[in-house]
Chain A
Amino acid sequence: DAKTTQPTSMDCAEGRAANLPCNHSTISGNEYVYWYRQIHSQGPQYIIHGLKNNETNEMASLIITEDRKSSTLILPHATLRDTAVYYCIVRVYTGNQFYFGTGTSLTVIP
């Protein structure tokens, strides 16, 4: 089952940074933190993943605390198209499946 805890919903003003928190206090040493999002019942879209170092790509930044018990996904300049459900998932790198919890419903407000 899901090993993460996320807020049910969040709002963010368009153009501002969206910071989505995730708690994973029972994460194991060989488990990665993945972020996916699902826009209006489309297929989940991969965003980013990391082990212990902070990661950045063209979509977002992932900040993982030093003890790895929590992380934050940052969308630097949120747009209306970023309105979606965001899933934080921990998984062994070569695991068979992703456990999708209920995620955080992010609404970007004009």
Chain B
Amino acid sequence: NAGVMQNPRHLVRRRGQEARLRCSPMKGHSHVYWYRQLPEEGLKFMVYLQKENIIDESGMPKERFSAEFPKEGPSILRIQQVVRGDSAAYFCASSPDRTQETQYFGPGTRLLVL
């Protein structure tokens, strides 16, 4: 049973470009969560999605950031017009259908903005 998959594992962008981060949840999981970890800090919640719905985006920056989890395919975290302060590790987690209990995390995407 494959775990949470994230790609790419490393992403380099220049200021002003767009970054797209992908997350495939564990098989049978329809709840996806995105977290960001800045250097030397703990993980910070960004957004919680179910298939085709954003349930909680209280941790998302108001501008340039968006997330989706379509009916088919992976969840996407999109960052437009990236700035150096967006450089961080972005982790995706998923949880089972029936309850939200434990979240299982992917390996993360390391974004570096030059």
Contacts and interface: CB of A to CB of B under 8 A. Distances in A.
A and B form one complex: yes
For chain A, the bracket of interface size reads 20 to 34
B105 A43 contact: yes
A49 B102 contact: yes
Contact of A43 (B41, B102, B107): B107
A47 B5 CA distance: 19
Interface stretch (A7-15, A23-31, A76-84, A95-103): A95-103
B12 to A, nearest CB: 17
A102 B42 contact: yes
Nearest to B103: A98
B43 A95 contact: no
Interface of B: 4, 33, 35, 41-45, 48, 55-56, 59, 89, 91, 93, 99-108
The SS class assigned to the A binding surface is loop
Contacts of A103: 42
A58 B22 CA distance: 31
A93 B103 CA distance: 11
A45 B107 CA distance: 10
Contact of B45 (A43, A46, A49, A99): A99
Nearest to A42: B107
B45 A42 contact: no
B91 A44 contact: yes
Nearest to B42: A100
Given A43-B108, A96-B45, 11 more contacts: A34-B102, A36-B105, A43-B105, A43-B107, A44-B43, A44-B91, A45-B105, A46-B104, A96-B33, A96-B48, A101-B42
